[in-house]
Amino acid sequence: MKWLLLCFLLLAVPAYAVQPDEILGDARLEQRARDLSTGFRCLVCQNQSIDESDAPLARDLRILIRERLTKGDSDSQIRDFVVARYGEFVLLKPRLSARTAILWATPFLIILAGFAVILRRRKLSGVPAESALSAEEQKALRDLSS
C-alpha cells in the first residue's frame, strides 16, 4: 500500500480517477471502458490501474480508450493498440506466453504435485487402511470382552 500512497502523494493536486466529463453517454460502452481500463497499469504509478489513477497520463489513456470505443473498436483491438504503444508491461493480466507459462501454471502444478505426493506416500507406506487385527490381538480382544 505504501507504493499506492507514494503515487498518491507525488501528485500535488489529487483528482480522483475517472472524472464526470470522461464518462460516455452509452452505459454499455462506458462499462466496457471501465472494464478495459481496470486491466491497464498506470505507467507513472506503482501497481495502480489507470481506472484508479489520478495521473494525467492515465486520464489521457482513459479518454483515448473511450474515443476508440466510440469509433467501434473491439476490446482486443484496443488492448493490442495500447500494448503496441506501451509494451506488455501495461497489462495487469499478463498474456499467456512462453515467458509467463510458469507464472500461470505454478499454483495449479503445486496442487497436482501435492496430490501426487500424497498418493505416492500412501502406496509406499502401504497404509494398512483396513489393518486387520493379528491373531494375537484377536485373542486379546476376546479375552477382554469375555
Does 16 bind other proteins (CB under 8 A)? Our answer is yes
Select from 56, 60, 101, 110 the one that contacts other proteins (CB under 8 A): 110
Least Å distance, CB 133 to other proteins, is 15
The window from 5-13, 57-65, 74-82, 132-140 that contacts other proteins (CB under 8 A) reads 5-13
β partners of residue 40: 91
Phi, psi angles (nearest 5°) of residue 137 = -65, -40
Length of the chain: 146
- When binding is defined by CB under 8 A, the residue of 26, 77, 85, 87 that contacts other proteins is 87
Q: Which stretch binds other proteins (CB under 8 A): 63-71, 73-81, 82-90, 136-144?
A: 82-90
Q: How far is CA 11 from CA 2, 41, 50, 85, 91, in A?
A: 15, 17, 15, 24, 23
User: Of the ranges 60-68, 73-81, 88-96, 133-141, which one interacts with other proteins (CB under 8 A)?
Assistant: 88-96
**φ, ψ at 40 (rounded to 5°):** -105, 135
Q: Of residues 31, 56, 103, 141, which one binds other proteins by CB under 8 A?
A: 103
Q: Which three cell numbers stand for residue 49?
A: 490501474
User: Exposed, middle or buried: residue 42 (CB in 10 Å: 0-12, 13-18, 19+)?
Assistant: buried
Exactly one of 9, 84, 132, 135 binds other proteins (CB under 8 A); that residue is 9
